[in-house]
Each structure stands twice: as C-alpha cells, then as structure tokens.
Amino acid sequence: MEAGKVLLLLGLGLALLGLLLLYFPKLLSWFGHLPGDIRIEREGLRVYLPLGSALLLSLLLTLLLNLFLRR
C-alpha cells in the first residue's frame, strides 16, 4: 500500500476517534485505568505509567494493520 493511502487512513482513524471522544467521553473512560497501569500520587509528585493500556493499544493496532496491509 502506498504511503499516502496509509497516512490518509491513519488520519481518518484519528479523526473518528477524536469525534467519538468529543461526543461520547465515557465511551473510552476505562482506557488508562486498566490493570498494569501504574499510578503514583504523592504530595508534589504525580507519576503515571500506562503499561497495560499501551500493551492493549499495541495489540489492537498490530491486528488492524495486519488486516489492512496484508496482500
């Protein structure tokens, strides 16, 4: 697939995700609160490591790209 088509599909996907988050904010409220996401909150310090969310997002993107880019 040409690079232009890939960029167009990624842009459309991001626009769709943005619209979903804009009009249905609770639709993805679970994202970022998965098991494996590390939060450390103390006075004057806030650390957030979304490891579980990053793994899930990586898995979903890998599956989608394999479906669309396979010949």
Task: Please check whether residues 20 and 35 belong to one and the same domain.
Answer: no
Task: Please check whether residues 38 and 5 belong to one and the same domain.
Answer: no
DSSP-assigned states of every residue in the chain = --HHHHHHHHHHHHHHHHHHHHH-GGGGTTTT-STTEEEEEETTEEEEEEHHHHHHHHHHHHHHHHHHH--
Task: Please check whether residues 40 and 54 belong to one and the same domain.
Answer: yes
Helix (H) or strand (E) holding 41: strand 37-42
Task: Please check whether residues 13 and 38 belong to one and the same domain.
Answer: no
Task: Please check whether residues 41 and 17 belong to one and the same domain.
Answer: no
pLDDT by residue (tens digit) across 54-65? 999 899 989 988
Number of structural domains the chain divides into: 2
Task: State the number of CA atoms in the 13 A half-sphere of 44 facing the CB.
Answer: 0
Task: Please check whether residues 38 and 65 belong to one and the same domain.
Answer: yes
pTM over 0.85, yes/no: no
Task: Please check whether residues 11 and 35 belong to one and the same domain.
Answer: no
pLDDT by residue (tens digit) across 18-41? 898 888 888 777 777 889 899 999
Rg of the chain, C-alpha, whole Å: 16
Residue range of the domain that includes 70: 31-71
